[in-house]
Amino acid sequence: VEQSYIMIKPDGVQRGLVGEIISRFEKKGFILKGLKLFQCPKDLAQEHYKDLKEKPFFPKLIDYITSGPVVCMAWEGDGVVASARKLIGATNPLQAEPGTIRGDLAVQTGRNVVHGSDSPDNGKREIGYQCLPQLRVLVLLLASFQVAAASWMMRRL
């Protein structure tokens, strides 16, 4: 089933818009499959927005996304990626239609309260980033297991 990664950006959390934004996706009929409050580290923010690396506003964008906790969500449903983009509205909130999240709740491109994946493939990729910390722990565990096994074998030789 199609999934979209929807992230309430730091200004959305600080302004108390979490409930309002979740409510719009719930009322539409999409299914909430995962949610967490998360302080995004700089390297993950850079990875998430890597397609915009060459843009002049990139450093400001990374500062913005890492300026406070974000709410990370996986939403599921047929056509959820394109539909979520419609619910969210245009990148520049002044051009976003009334009735959209950005159209109703924001005025600046650099503080546009919410992110939505722009393709089903990017939806999968961005939701996958949330597994990175667990993967790092797994790799560390495997590495220390290997060291322990190697030293046990050396002692037996």
Known binding-site residue numbers for ATP: 9, 57, 85, 91, 102, 112
Kindly list the catalytic residues.
115
If residue 148 lies in a helix (H) or strand (E), which one and from where to where? helix 132-156
Give the span between the Cα atoms of 121 and 111, in whole angstroms: 25
Cβ 48 to ligand GTP shortest distance, Å:
9
Binds 116, which of Mg ion, ligand GTP, none (CB < 5 to 8 A, cut-off by type)? ligand GTP
Q: Which amino acid is at 11?
A: D
Q: State yes or no: residue 91 binds ligand GTP (CB under 6 A).
A: yes
How many C-alpha atoms does 29 have within 13 Å on its Cβ side?
Answer: 4
Residue 53: partners with Cβ closer than 8 Å, 6 or more residues away: 46
Q: Does 115 bind ligand GTP (CB under 6 A)?
A: yes
> Within 10 A of 88 (CB to CB), how many other CB atoms are there?
23
79 or 133: CB nearest Mg ion: 79
Residue 116 is a binding residue for ligand GTP (CB under 6 A): yes
Residues engaged in binding Mg ion (CB under 5 A) = 118
Residues engaged in binding ligand GTP (CB under 6 A) = 52, 57, 60-61, 91, 109-110, 112, 115-116, 118
